[in-house]
Amino acid sequence: MAAIAAVVVALGRQRGLRQRLREVLDQVVRACDEYQCGNDDYLTERFLRESAKKLRLLSERDGLKSPNTSHIGQLRDILEDIANRFDVPNMLPSHGVAERQELLEANGQAFNFGIEQAKRRAATYLRASKRMDGWRFWTYPRYRWFGITSRTFREVNSYTTPWPGPVK
């Protein structure tokens, strides 16, 4: 009887952690979507670093089991990479105009690609965590033990409702 109680407590704790994960992921998806629609007020370096920190705490400190640390770590690395790309234009020297323009264009392309990847991954993990809590058993082991397949990350539709910004 004590073993059953321990399993129920552990499942409830994981459900609570996935709810916190959904809160972070929803903000990331919406901020990336707003940026792609032309509103860059919400996707800031600070927001990206705080989101990456929250993901790290959820997966490493709090013990979120599924999606596993590898999945969350990849999304965290993408968010950190995007945040680091905010400083690139300021770090480049102003001389060598031709090379500077090429580097800025490459940075812009990598920045936009990173935003698209962050949006896709966050939306995928958001859907998966909702399915896990909707008692779809096979979703849990897929994101806990198995790797990423070519079908994992697909196009994400834009939100149609206005977003007031990240929750403080």
Which domain CATH number covers 112? 1.20.120
Residue 157 covered by a domain? no
Residue 27 covered by a domain? yes
Q: Place 27 in a pLDDT band, splitting at 50, 70 and 90.
A: very high
Residue 17 covered by a domain? yes
Report whether 21 contacts 75 (CB < 8 A).
no
Residue 163 covered by a domain? no
Say what the pTM is: 0.78
Report whether 112 contacts 37 (CB < 8 A).
no
- Find which of 38-42, 80-84, 93-97, 157-161 is predicted with most confidence, using mean pLDDT: 80-84
Domain count, the chain: 1
pLDDT digits (tens, 9 = 90+) for 55-79: 999 888 887 776 777 888 889 999 9
Residue 137 covered by a domain? yes
Residue 162 covered by a domain? no
Residue 151 covered by a domain? no
Structural domain range at position 24: 2-145
Residue 159 covered by a domain? no
Structure tokens at 62: 């709090």
Q: Place 127 in a pLDDT band, splitting at 50, 70 and 90.
A: confident
Residue 166: Cβ within 10 Å count: 18
Please report, as a single letter, which amino acid is at residue 146: F
